[in-house]
Amino acid sequence: MGGQACVFYGAAQFSKDVDLALLASEENFSRVLAALRELHAKRIAVPRFDPALLARGHAVFRCQGGETDGLRVDLMTRLRGVAEFNVLWERRTTIKDANGDTFELLSLEDLVLAKKTQREKDWPIIDALIEGHYRALGQDPTPERVSFWLSESRNPERLLALVKRFPTEAHVHSNHRPLLQLALEERRDALLEALDKETRAEQAKDRAYWVPLRAEFESFRRAEREGLREVGDQLLD
């Protein structure tokens, strides 16, 4: 998931880290820990690597030595606005490179949802992902694909073209995405304003989602500092 997945889908995004969504199970955590040891990865952010804590947020590591030296690895077991891991896994995209290595990616549709963050840089990537999807599959408009394009497209010109091509579907989807009605009425300026408002609303949701988690992370950080201070005091005694 994240920037590396965007590269695979052709929506190139320079990224210095690797974001991984993983199944929250004891067996899987053991496998992940083994992989992190192989990479000589060191935890660089709270919370500590604990299944219960990881299930509520994420853990961040920095690889040390070898070809991956300096690489940051972000691990998450849940994402805002997307399905549970087992569902994500069932509809994943599997890619093999020329060397025969296999890469399991979030489906493009799930990646679009995962990229709806408070960060401004993620929104052009969403647009690129959807545009690439439409260019690749527009000649084979299954109901699922039409629903995805109408529900997620952020390009005003693309939306205006989509509602002309699929007016019946656009009317139906306007019930849950009212700005499609503006596209049907060809009110481009109002459509632009509505798209911006939609973006700001999603960014606000993401900020609200992270507020309690950041507070929790800060409490972990304070506790860790206190623990280190106590160890230091004991060594001085």
Report the alpha-carbon distance of residue 174 to residue 129 in Å, rounded: 22
The band of 106, judged by pLDDT with boundaries at 50, 70 and 90, is very high
Q: CB–CB of 37/92 below 8 Å?
A: no
Q: Are 155 and 209 in the same domain?
A: yes
Q: How far is CA 203 from CA 32, 74, 133, 200, in A?
A: 31, 21, 23, 5
Q: How many other CB atoms sit within 10 Å of the CB of residue 153?
A: 25
Domain closes at, from 107, 135, 155: 107
Give the per-residue pLDDT at 20: 86
Give the per-residue pLDDT at 60: 78
Q: Are 87 and 142 in the same domain?
A: no
Predicted confidence (pLDDT) per residue in 175-194, tens digit: 999 999 999 999 999 999 99
Q: Are 134 and 197 in the same domain?
A: yes
Q: Are 56 and 157 in the same domain?
A: no
Q: Are 69 and 153 in the same domain?
A: no
**Percentage, residues of the chain above pLDDT 70:** 91
pLDDT of 84 > 50? The answer is yes
Q: Which two tokens stand for residue 146?
A: 């039409």
- Mean pLDDT, to the nearest integer, of 75-83? 86
pLDDT of 233 > 70? The answer is no
Q: Which residue has the higher pLDDT, 130 or 220?
A: 130
Give the per-residue pLDDT at 236: 40
Domain that holds residue 147: 116-237
Domain closes at, from 107, 141, 158: 107
Angle 72-76-77 from CA coordinates, rounded to 5°:
155
Predicted confidence (pLDDT) per residue in 141-174, tens digit: 999 999 999 999 999 999 999 999 999 999 999 9
Q: Are 144 and 237 in the same domain?
A: yes
Q: Is 66 left (phi over 0), alpha (psi -120 to 50) or beta?
A: left
Helix ranges, the chain (H)? 3-8, 26-38, 51-54, 85-90, 108-114, 122-137, 143-152, 156-165, 167-173, 179-184, 188-236
Looking at the structure of the chain, the number of domains it has is 2
Domain closes at, from 61, 88, 107: 107
